[in-house]
Structure 1
Amino acid sequence: MRKWWPLLAVCAGSFLFLLDTTVVTVALPRIGAELGASVGQLQWVPDVYTLVLAVLMLAAGSLADRWGRRRVFLAGLAVFGTASLACGFSPDIGMLIAARGVQAVGGSALAVTGFAILAAAYEGRSRATAISVFFAVNGLGAAAGPVVGGVLTEYFGWAAIFFVTVPLAVVTGGFALVAVRPDTPARRGRFDVAGAVWFAVGAASLVHGLTLGGSGRWTSPVTVGALVVSAVAFAVFGLVERRPEPLLDLRLFRDGGFTTLVACAAASTLTFAALVYVSLWLQTDRGLGPVAAGLELAPLAVASFLTSVLAGKALHRFPPRVLLGAGVLLGAVGCLLQLGLPVTAGLAVTGIGVGIAGPATGAAIAAAAPPGRAGMAAGILTTTRQFGQTLGVAVLGIAYQDGGLAPVYVVAAVCGGVTGLLALVPRKQAAVPV
């Protein structure tokens, strides 16, 4: 049983991080009413979390390779728990937004180092099992956020969604000290500060531009300026990363199989991006309360969890591209089913797709990472998923404003369908250069 202690510790940390990614969805109306916040201010409560995650995940992976996975994981828990306490005690919306930003600093460390710890701690079938359970818990944490947030907000107040994570972070940190062995840093040399800075500028500008565009301000000078700054920063980042020991080894993307893998990771996040608008529709159009709306979304969490647990047995039997393609395609089918069936039925099918695609993506990334680059590989995976969800929220927001929930399903289904079909095309297996 002790063999699986690292998995339990990592899953607990990842569950906290992902729970707080979506837990605020149903609490925003109550937060706005009690803190006197405008709609624009409320938007930053989830957006600042997304922004900081997108900026720091790649850097967190590089730090884990250089400082040690266990050390960065424990530091992430400490920051996350402290910031959660500050969120709950926030007297105004400005303090809450700032505390959410700090919370995401800890969350970025948890997101990246958890996967890297598993990739280093397990091999063969044990690794497949660990990754399957890890992604099952990830899906459960993200999808369970609205349910947990609804219950806590309705019966204990919005601050409870943050307070509840504090003791959980403390317990998880204590268990991780025992369960996860100290590791020797896998990489030497200087941290790529220039790469981290240029990536941060590009990522922050892109997320900010997409967020503004998603609210209907695509032609705003601020939006256009943010997207231009992002393009320039990423271009400079690409030049900077040609140096030895880069933050991101760009040679990875010469491999068409690896690039497809990354595209599938991004496409699979459209499901959770769509949840934002499904939750909004349930509460505004159907008049459901926070708890009832959260329960309507529960089939996705349950189906994703159960499928991910079972998917580990299939990781060695099928090529990764087959499982990836099948998972993403099922997610697209689930979106289409929601057009003609009750929302819960389509969500269940989508959850099965998420449960297949998640472990397959993780196993492929872990297998492709060369020695000493587990943190970087995890950073690529988590950053891609974060950008995919951010872009998804922006694009689906336009669809929702123009035609309600139906266009959201159509756009998500088309993007997932195209990406899933591309994944099924035979290619040379992805290989990451050392």
Structure 2
Amino acid sequence: MRKWLPLIAVCAGSFLFLLDTTVVTVALPRIGADLSASVGQLQWVPDVYTLVLTVLMLAAGSLADRWGPRRTFLAGLVVFGLASLACGFSPDIGMLIAARGVQAIGGAALAVTGFALLVAHYDGRERGTAISVFFAVNGLGAAVGPLAGGVLTEYFGWSAIFFVNVPLVVLTAVFTVFALGRDTPARRGRFDLAGAAWFALGAASLVHGLTLGGEGRWTSPVTVGALVVSVVAFAAFGFVERRPEPLLDLRLFRDGGFTTLVACAAASTLTFAALVYVSLWLQTGRALGPVAAGLELAPLAVASFLTSTLAGRVLHRFPPRVLLGAGVLLGAAGCLLQLGLAVPAGLAVTGIGVGIAGPATGAAIVAAAPPGRAGMAAGILTTTRQFGQTLGVAVLGIAYQAGGLAPVYVVAAGCGGVTGLLALVPRKQARVTT
């Protein structure tokens, strides 16, 4: 049992940061009413969290390789806990959005270091089991958020969804100190500050531009300017990453298999992006309360958790592309079922797909990463997933405002279907050494 203590500590931290990606979804109507916030302002409550996660995860992974994953993990817990207090005490929507951004700084550290710690502590079949349990808890954290948020919001108020984090952070930190051994940083050398800055600017500008466009402001100078800045920033990022010790080793993307792997990781997150609008529709279109809306979304959490838990037993039996393709295609099929109003069945099928694709993606990215770059591998994986979800919320928001829930399902199913089919095409796995 002792050998699994690091897994328990890592899963507790990851559960916290992922819970907060979706826990606010059913609380948004109450937050809007209490803080007199518009729909556009409310969209930033989940968006700023996932955006900051996206912007900082690559940097956090690189820092973990140099500073040590255990130190980074504990620092993330402290920041996350303090920011959760600030969220709960927010007197207005501006303060809440700002506090959510700080909360995501801690979440970014928890995200990448958790996966890196698993890679450092487990090998062989034990690593496959650990990765499966890790993704099972991740899926549970993200998918159970609406239900937990519904119960807390309905009976204790929306502030409770943030206050509950504080005792959980304290317990996780204490457990981490005793369960995880001291750090042995794998990398030395200078941190790629230029790469981190250009990536942050590109990601923030792109999501901001898409969000403004979703509000019908495509021709606004601010929208056009944000999109242009994103293109320039990503081009500059690609240029500076050609130097030694990059934040992201771009040589990995020379192989089509790795690129498809990253695309599948992004596509699988559209499921959780869609939950924002499914929750809004359940509470506004069907007049359900927060708890009832959360229960409607529960099949996804249950199916994802059970499937991920069992996936570790078969990871070594199938090529990663088969599991990835099957998982993403099942997620797309679940969206189509929901489009046909078979919402519980569709959520269950989507949950099965998420449960298959998550562990397979993690195992494949670890296999492709250079030796000693577990932090970078975790940064690639978590950044891809969070960037996919952040862009998903923005893009699906455009679809939702244009035609309601149906276009949301169509877009999510279409993206999942295309990437899932591409994943099934045989390609050689990339492997880069440094």
**Shorter-chain TM-score tier:** over 0.9
CA deviation string 1:145-191 (max 9, x = no partner): 11111100000011100000000001000100111111211100011
Aligned partners of 1:38 and 1:281: how far apart in 2? Answer: 16
**1:132 maps to 2:132:** yes
Query: Please, what is the CA RMSD of the aligned residues?
Result: 1.2
**1:361 maps to 2:361:** yes
**1:227 maps to 2:214:** no
Given that 2:25 and 2:275 are in contact with CA atoms closer than 8 Å, whether structure 1 keeps it comes out as: no
Paired residues for 1:315-394 under 5 Å: 315-394=315-394
Moved more, 154-163 or 409-418: 409-418
Instruction: State the TM-score, normalized to the length of structure 2.
Output: 0.98
What is the match of residue 297 of structure 2?
297
Paired residues for 1:36-55 under 5 Å: 36-55=36-55
Letter in 2 for 1:206: L
What is the match of residue 415 of structure 2?
415
Aligned partners of 1:304 and 1:161: how far apart in 2? Answer: 22
Aligned partners of 2:339 and 2:28: how far apart in 1? Answer: 27
Aligned partners of 1:374 and 1:91: how far apart in 2? Answer: 40
Instruction: State the TM-score, normalized to the length of structure 1.
Output: 0.98
- Cα offset, 1:218, TM superposition: 2.5
What is the match of residue 396 of structure 1?
396
- Cα offset, 1:341, TM superposition: 4.5
What is the match of residue 105 of structure 2?
105
Paired residues for 1:19-34 under 5 Å: 19-34=19-34
Aligned partners of 1:101 and 1:311: how far apart in 2? Answer: 33
Moved more, 352-361 or 49-58: 49-58
CA deviation string 1:353-396 (max 9, x = no partner): 00000000001111222221010111111111111112222222
Unaligned stretches of 5+ residues in structure 2: none
Paired residues for 1:2-401 under 5 Å: 2-401=2-401
SS in 1 for 2:316: coil
Aligned partners of 1:36 and 1:339: how far apart in 2? Answer: 32
Letter in 2 for 1:187: R
Aligned partners of 2:231 and 2:33: how far apart in 1? Answer: 38
Runs of 4+ aligned residues of structure 1 deviating over 6 Å after TM superposition are none
Moved more, 230-239 or 26-35: 26-35
Aligned partners of 2:333 and 2:233: how far apart in 1? Answer: 37
Residues 337, 39 of structure 1: alpha-carbon distance in 2 compared, 3 angstrom cutoff: closer
Given that 2:90 and 2:96 are in contact with CA atoms closer than 8 Å, whether structure 1 keeps it comes out as: yes
Unaligned stretches of 5+ residues in structure 1: none
Aligned partners of 2:340 and 2:49: how far apart in 1? Answer: 34
Aligned partners of 1:38 and 1:214: how far apart in 2? Answer: 14
Given that 1:210 and 1:390 are in contact with CA atoms closer than 8 Å, whether structure 2 keeps it comes out as: no
CA deviation string 1:313-361 (max 9, x = no partner): 1100000000000000111111111222420111000100000000000
Letter in 1 for 2:401: Q
- Cα offset, 1:399, TM superposition: 2.0
SS in 1 for 2:25: coil
Residues paired across the two proteins, number: 434
Moved more, 269-278 or 402-411: 402-411
Letter in 2 for 1:94: G
Aligned partners of 2:258 and 2:114: how far apart in 1? Answer: 21
Letter in 2 for 1:379: G
Moved more, 213-222 or 326-335: 213-222
